[in-house]
Amino acid sequence: MMRRRAWITFCLAALCFGFLPALIRSEYFLNLFLMFFLYVTVAQSWNLLGGFTGQISLGHSAFFGTGALITRLIWTAGVPIVPALIAGSLSSVVLALLVGVPCLRMRSAYFPIGTLALAMIAQITVANLFPLPGSLSRGYLTGYSMLSRYYLALLVAMLTVAVVYWIVRSRTGLALVGIRDDEAAAEAMGVRTFKHKVFALMVSSWLVGLGGGIFAYHQVSYYYSAPFELSWSFLPTLTTFIGGLGTIAGPILGAACFLGLSEIFAISLGEVHLVVFAFTFILVVLFVPGGLMSISTKIRSLTARIARRATRV
């Protein structure tokens, strides 16, 4: 029942976004939607680790950046984009295994600052190794098609949502939320918690690495350290918390709000949307741990109750 509804929503979304470019030709809107897909990818992959497994990472910019860096280097060396993307995302997983896994050995309350430190190390190191911006050469520019970027980003976003949904509904997903709620209790019920956390981290870094690859494929010219900027760690944390931690729809909703606000304010006031989002984030952490999603379920149950009372009368 639940499963069928999710399936239908998923297919409808694929159809709508698939045919959108036929209706909207504006480069601006295609760009906007591409950013939406990218934000959804980043936030949803973060959600698997932070929302469902309870390991709040402030280091996802390192995995995003690695995916971008390797994809870009391989792609601009002449390899087609799809293999480059796969290689890039896998290198994010390798980084996660090398440096992220040790962080999981820390007390989990320290995981956020441990991963933050890693993200800063990665950013500084890449900025030092690649001080110049990487621009596409003439050959790549003449063949540049917005549509192929749009569809690849859509594909990656749909893949991310599908993978996270599938994991969360599986046996493993049950263990992950158990770890989030009480690690020692999960362990006492036979869950090998460390192994599961490593799994969540690997999948999360793989998906966010794909997102990084999309960034590399989309941007014409950028400093190689740009996708390593800490904002790529902060963004998924903000949007997922505000949308609804540990729900599939939450990060999507959060990403949409973030993008919408930033577009509205971009015209007039620069970074106001970040101020609004930071403030909302604090309020959510303090007062509404379920984010916008919990507000919507509360409203729904409230209206249901009112409707029931109305029919009874």
Partner 1 sequence: MGQTLVYGVLNGALYGIIALGIALVFGVMRYLNLAQGSLIILGAYGILFLFHLGVDPFASMPLIAFLLFLLGGALFWASFSRLIALSEAGRIKNSLLISFGLMLLIDNLATLLWTGDERSITPAYSGLTFGIAGLRFPLIGCVGVLSALVIIVALHLFLARTYFGKSIMAVSQDHEAASLMGVNVNLTCLVSFAISVGLASIPSALIGLKSFSPTVGIQWFNKGVIVVMLSGIGNINGVFPAGLFLGIMEAISVYFFGAPYREVTGLVVFVLVMVLFPKGLFKRQEL
Partner 2 sequence: MATLLEAQGLYKFFGGLTAIKGVDFHLNEGEILGLIGPNGSGKTTLFNLIAGVFRPDRGSIRFGGRDIAGAGCADVCQMGLARTFQITRPFPLLSVLDNVKLGRAYGSKPARTLSLAETEAIEILDFIGLGTKRSTGAGRLGLIDRKRLELGKALATKPKLLLLDEIMAGLNPTEMEAASNLVIRIRDAGVSIIIIEHMMRAILKLSDRVMVLNTGEKIAEGLPGDVIADKQVIEAYLGVDTHDAQS
Interface positions with partner 2 (CB under 8 A): 170-171, 174-175, 177-178, 180-182, 184-193, 246
The entry of partner 2, partner 1, none that residue 113 binds, CB within 5 to 8 Å by partner kind? partner 1
Minimum CB distance to partner 2, residue 124 (Å): 37
**What single string gives the DSSP state of each residue in 54-77?**
----S-HHHHHHHHHHHHHHHHHT
Nearer to partner 1, 260 or 270 (CB): 270
When CB distances are held under 5 to 8 angstroms depending on the partner's kind, the choice from partner 2, partner 1, none that residue 102 binds is partner 1
Q: How far is the CB of 278 from partner 1 (least distance, A)?
A: 4
Nearest to partner 2 of 185, 264 (CB atom): 185
Task: Give contact residues for partner 1 (rule: CB under 8 A).
Answer: 56, 58, 99, 102-103, 105-110, 112-114, 116-118, 120-121, 124-125, 128, 184, 230, 234, 237-238, 241, 269-272, 274-275, 277-279, 281-282, 285-286
CB-nearer residue toward partner 1: 83 or 270: 270
9 binds, among partner 2, partner 1, none (CB under 5 to 8 A by kind): none
Give the one entry of partner 1, partner 2, none that residue 286 binds, where binding means its C-beta sits below a cut-off of 5 to 8 angstroms depending on kind. Answer: partner 1
**What's the closest the beta carbon of residue 78 comes to partner 2, in angstroms?**
46
Cβ nearer to partner 1, comparing 32 with 230: 230
By beta-carbon proximity to partner 1, the closer residue of 26 and 268 is 268
